[in-house]
Amino acid sequence: MTGTTYRSSLDVAAIGNGRVAALIDPGGRIVWWCFPRLDGDPVFCRLLSGPEDKGFCDVVLEGQVSATSSYVRNTCILETVLVASNGASVKVTDFAPRFPRYGRSFHPTQLIRRIEPLSGLPRIVCRVRPTFDYGQTTAVPSQGSNHIRYGGSGTPVRVTTDLAVSYIVHETPFALTRPVTLVLGNDEPIESPVDTMSREFLESTREYWVNWVRGLAISYEWQPDVIRAAISLKLCTFEETGAITAALTTSIPEAPNTPRTWDYRFCWLRDAYFVIQALNRLGATQSMEHYLNYITTIVADAQSPLKPVYGIIHNDTTEERIAPDLKGYLGMGPVRIGNLASKQLQHDAYGSVILGAAQMFIDQRLPRMGDASLFRELEHLGQQARRLYLEPDAGIWEYRGRERIHTHSATMCWVACDRLARIATLLGLSDRAGYWRQSADRIRSEILSRAWSDKRGAFTGAFDTDELDASVLLLAELGLVAPGDPRFIKTCDTIGRELMRNGLMLRYAAEDDFGLPESAFLACQFWYIDALALIGRTGQARELFGELLGHRNAFGMLSEDLHPATGQLWGNIPQTYSMAGLINSATRLSRGWDDAWAAPPKADPKHIHSPESADFGMHVEQTLQHLA
């Protein structure tokens, strides 16, 4: 019996629990799992192993003809049904345990896989093939009475099971006559019966996610889409520290056959504003509070210059290096470990931290509000912003071969001073408010003078240049200019005309260190949508938003990039920038709950992508027709 070969794509589902996360393809194969935490060694690395058949866990059904995967509604529990030509079928349920226990959050370094017969007499093979040290060695199994220990150069992995362990070790076909369970995790014994434990953990995990979603404040329209984005965003959270990674993966290329492959399992400070904005709009105050704690821990080390990117444990970053034993996504390497951006100068970091921390001074829901002592810590960062706003840096797009005075970096330095002025006013510190307002006004004047190009009729990506850059679409959102400012409206028109490819937004169109960019950057598409809404073009914004929803993968997630010619997703997944952008745009564009019954929503079938969306849309339509 041979295994089924599945089409390689970014149609992957994510499961996780705030400590570990895994990606699973539509056939139920676990193709990515970093262990023992989000930035750890990918013991399941099939996503990046190229043609080599290693680093995965799957269930092979004899005579299989179909596989169907879907999430349990409002959770990140994945169910995959495999069907054979003779009608035999099995259900594979995958989840990472997560629920309250003993008065605290229980989220072990663990994945649980339950395999149940549904019909007929299915014959299956359970294959578990972890690797260690980024695909370098295939783990050697050591067999116990009811577990298998896979050892290598890294932390050992134990599979505890109520299945005959010899079937797994020797990949022996067997008839599945009862449910069986695999518990993958630390090399520690499990005292409870595995079947009982897995059923209890499954129900408790389902209850946790349903209750978490129940507490979200979501928009009326696009509810299933926003819920899936919110869950995806939470899966990128390392809850021990509150850090939120840019994505769960490393080195999925931005476009076909490009060396633009980066490790995104780190926390970028510039994401702070967008993530906190999304969490705030969702009412996910606890997640927001944890993230703010992570940021303020960085602020407390004010004697050190800010880095643009930090590890999920603040001081735990690695040098960028290549993993030679992984060939890359679809064989397109290199696969990188670590990110050189942590060594770059990116002056927007100062404004990003202050903008994120500003939430602590205005949000009365938070148990710990910002005070004068936190303000003084933030002032140290503000002084750096005042000093550096006219200094060249690598910019928001992290150019590796050049530095300029980037408009976005200078704008975020203005943001640092502007928000400090506002915070000082809230705290009644009039002298400090005046100081920071004067500083902000000086920086703003410089930006408006040197970032505007009469030739392009737009604000440009760097001072005294004519090159367009989608990051200037944030100028009104950040408050540097009013949405109705003719210069901003012209900028939106110019960027929409010059940087759009097949309705999708590039970051920029000029050649960089790696040549001309190919793919649209999805965060920029959301920025453009938001900018259109700000200048009053809501209809156009809604249309673009609906089209973008149609580009999500089969499980409702977005990666970083989208190829304008093919419509294929590229880049690391799930991308925090993209998922936060979806939430923020949906919240901005949605009709209010008070208007929910005013008229049936106009749903274009091509914009309904996931089964959850389709079911909900049909339900709303039928309900409205009934009431009419």
Residue 6 has pLDDT above 60, yes or no: no
**How many C-beta atoms surround the C-beta of residue 611 within 10 A?**
16
Task: Give 395-431 as a DSSP string.
Answer: TTTT-SS--B-BHHHHHHHHHHHHHHHHHHHHTT-HH
* pLDDT attached to residue 276: 87
Q: How far apart are CA 328 and CA 261, in angstroms?
A: 9
Q: How far apart are CA 55 and CA 523, in angstroms?
A: 31
Burial of 178 (0-12, 13-18, 19+ CB in 10 A): exposed
| Mean pLDDT, residues 577-599 | 89
| Mean pLDDT, residues 104-133 | 96
Residue 125: alpha-carbon gap to chain centroid: 33
Banded pLDDT at 599 (limits 50, 70, 90)? low
* pLDDT attached to residue 589: 97
Q: How far apart are CA 535 and CA 482, in angstroms?
A: 9
Residue type, 211: N
The residues, ordered by sequence, that sit 6+ positions from 180 with a Cβ below 8 Å of its Cβ are: 114, 115, 126, 161, 162, 163, 195
Banded pLDDT at 615 (limits 50, 70, 90)? very low
What b-and-e string marks burial along 125-151, b requiring 16 or more CB atoms within 10 Å of the CB? bbebbbbbebbebebebeeeeebbbbb
* Least confident span in 100-104, 410-414, 548-552: 100-104
Q: How far apart are CA 519 and CA 10, in angstroms?
A: 15
Task: Tell which residue, 365, 233, 391, 261, has the closest CA to residue 320.
Answer: 261
| CATH code, residues 215-623 | 1.50.10.10
How is residue 46 annotated by DSSP? G
Banded pLDDT at 603 (limits 50, 70, 90)? very low
Q: What is the pLDDT of residues 71-89, one digit of tens each?
A: 999 999 999 999 999 999 9
Work out whether strand 99-101 and strand 104-106 pair parallel, antiparallel, or are unpaired.
Answer: antiparallel
Banded pLDDT at 299 (limits 50, 70, 90)? confident
Work out whether strand 41-44 and strand 30-35 pair parallel, antiparallel, or are unpaired.
Answer: antiparallel
* Least confident span in 119-128, 173-182, 284-293, 296-305: 296-305
Q: What is the mean pLDDT of the chain?
A: 91
* pLDDT attached to residue 152: 75
Banded pLDDT at 271 (limits 50, 70, 90)? confident
Residue 433 has pLDDT above 60, yes or no: yes
Torsion of CA 562, 356, 448, 522, to 10 degrees: 10
Banded pLDDT at 8 (limits 50, 70, 90)? very low
Q: How far apart are CA 174 and CA 246, in angstroms?
A: 41
| Mean pLDDT, residues 581-592 | 95
Whole-prediction pTM: 0.92
Q: How far apart are CA 485 and CA 363, in angstroms?
A: 29
